[in-house]
Amino acid sequence: MKRADTILALALAAACLGGAARGAGKYSGGAGDGYGAAASAPTGLGGTAISLSLPADQLIERTWTNVPCATVTITDGAPAAITAAGDLRLTIPDELVLTWNTTVTAPTFGGSAAGSVAAGVTYADGGKTLVVDVAANFTDDATLTISGLAFTNLTQACLPERLVLDIHNDGLADAWSDHVVGVTVSRPGGLGDGGDCFTMSEPVPIIVPGETLLIVR
């Protein structure tokens, strides 16, 4: 076959295939000229988005023994996912060396969902998990605030971590707090002014200005 005939045959084949593809309506990648691009659409795993909020990061000095927890806000989505079939379980991760103060059994509830939970709370997992009994299904976009909680057993400094919310009693996280909780420790020695303090995520200087480092071999 001559070169011109070969080119003509390939062109005809491409035209037929292109016509078949367009006729079938299966092509979705643009104009087919190598330049068109279809816009992508956001996708997700589905389900209702639950949020767990703290007003700010909470960094606690290790020497404190009973520290008030900032107000916690739980927000349901639409359609509502928090139901009476499951409790609200607010867990301090193991990486945070502290627990809830289990003597606090009647915190203050607020928000539109305050009437949907029982007045008292309990604790599980050795004080690491706060359990709120849901008495009635939440409505769409309902909010629940919890104040009056406290932390205790701050035995060592640790990196900041997020609190975890489980609404299905299945041990899986449904939301993480937007702010972190951490435990700080005063640097031994310091600058001598009694005021400098470092979180564990910050480097602690070996040499302080004005001091001399001696290396003995």
| pLDDT tens sequence across 138-183 | 999 999 999 999 999 988 888 899 999 999 999 999 999 999 999 9
pLDDT at site 37:
57
∠ CA 90-176-52 to the nearest 5 degrees?
70
- Fold observed for domain 51-198: Immunoglobulin-like (2.60.40)
pLDDT at residue number 166 = 97
* pLDDT confidence tier of residue 20, bands split at 50, 70 and 90: very low
For residues 121, 122, 123, 129, the Cα torsion angle rounded to the nearest 10 degrees is -40
Domain spans in the chain, listed from the N-terminal domain onward: 51-198
